[in-house]
Structure 1
Amino acid sequence: MTGLLLVDPYNDFIAPGGKLYSRAQEVSESVNFHGHLKEIVAEARKAGIRIFFVPHHRSEPGDFATWLYPNPNQVKSQKSQVFAKDSWGGEFHADFQPQTGDVIIKEHWASSGFANTDLDHQLKMHGVQRIIVIGALANTCIEATARFGVELGYHVTLVKDATTAFSKEAMHAAHEINGPTFAHAILTTEELLASL
């Protein structure tokens, strides 16, 4: 069985005015990121493929103040309060609201949607063996989640125009250099939709 992993569909990434929107805007527009996410989610629902929301931790003041080794992105997010809890930026975009039957995974603290969450357990409990990973960002949370999925024995599909990054170089690295070393399939949205 196949599951669709929708990673970090937050306003801060997807909506104009989001804290990270402008950083990814050029790449997002060049691949029609938002449009492709909508198409894939809609077609997955029609095909009976379960949607798993894989959200990043929603920032709160003091999150990492006592941590031994917060990573650079965690330090930055602490300062800017990206995806802040109880804020518009930390809400799922209006186009990607959970529906009956969807599964919302516990928030991940770093990049992998599997590490320190219930994602593996939820996939197993729903009989999922193949995962399609879409959302943000290609070279961080998408790649980390997909790599971890491979390590756990899942068949992993990346969709190179249903993700985004802060630079074309990061997208290239994610799909042309790193992705081919672990992903079972790297498709375009058009190719994926044809296969559903």
Structure 2
Amino acid sequence: MAPPPSTAIVLIDPYNDFLHPSGKLTAALADSLASNDAIKHLQTLVKYAHANQIPIFYGLHQQVKPGFLAGWAHPTANQLAQKTNVAFEEGAWGAKIYEGLEPDVVGNGDVVVSKHWCSSSFQNTDLHYQLGQREIKNLVFAGLTANTCMESTARYAYELGYNITMLKDATAGWTVEATTAATDLIWPLFANQVLTVDGWIESLKGN
């Protein structure tokens, strides 16, 4: 099966600190991760992409390091919480990509874009530039969290004119209710389609 033309996956924040049982923030996502079986579906997605030469663009959050937010007059509450929790600490295990979701830069053409400061992986990063260089127009979104960074990135893509597919079982949020509200009520307002991972793979069989 040939991959659909001009298509890439955008995978948001698949850090150990979000996904691994020992991650600093995983406990807060645990119910939602379990309800979606999100880790299994994320691994299925990455495995499929690598088997079919569909590039994955990794949108990763800024990492805590010495000087993080130093001199800032207007940090957000989430940025201050990240600093306090030392979440996604540069060079630490928690800021590594979860097992089975790692990029294959050489073999598959995956791209790790510059890191986002707030919610959108487009704002203050090179994601749009990197996609444009490869003439990518169709974006498939997965990752964390459903109603913050993943949704914010997809909404930005919507404003830029990309064709958007959201994968509702390859994500999680701080509560099951918040995740369900995003996937069932909000995403259909801007996405071209909202599918499961298996549903998206099945939709490619006609290509």
- When normalised by structure 2's length, the TM-score is 0.91
- Contact persistence 2:32–2:172 (CA under 8 A): yes
List gaps (5 residues or longer) in structure 2. 1-5
1-structure distance, mates of 2:83, 2:66:
7
Letter paired with 1:146 = A
2-structure distance, mates of 1:49, 1:160:
19
Counting only pairs closer than 5 Å after superposition, residues 47-196 of structure 1 correspond to structure 2 as 47-99=52-104, 100=106, 101-196=109-204
Q: Secondary structure at the match of 1:193?
A: helix
2-structure distance, mates of 1:175, 1:20:
21
Residues 76-103 of structure 1 deviation map (CA, whole Å, 9 limit, x = unaligned): 0010011010110011112122212211
Q: Percent identity?
A: 38
2-structure distance, mates of 1:28, 1:8:
14
List gaps (5 residues or longer) in structure 1. none
Q: Secondary structure at the match of 1:138?
A: coil
The aligned length equals 196
2-structure distance, mates of 1:96, 1:44:
11
Match of 2:3 in 1: none
Matched, 1:13 2:18: yes
2-structure distance, mates of 1:47, 1:92:
21
Runs of 4+ in 1 over 3 A off after TM superposition: none
Q: CA deviation at 1:61?
A: 4.0
Letter paired with 1:122 = Q
Letter paired with 2:126 = D
Match of 1:39 in 2: 44
Residues 39-74 of structure 1 deviation map (CA, whole Å, 9 limit, x = unaligned): 111112222211111111111244223212111110
2-structure distance, mates of 1:177, 1:71:
26
Deviates more, 1:41-50 or 1:15-24: 41-50
CA RMSD of aligned residues (A): 1.1
- Contact persistence 2:62–2:88 (CA under 8 A): yes
- Contact persistence 1:61–1:81 (CA under 8 A): no
Matched, 1:2 2:7: yes
- Contact persistence 1:61–1:78 (CA under 8 A): no
Q: Secondary structure at the match of 2:93?
A: coil
Q: Secondary structure at the match of 1:75?
A: helix
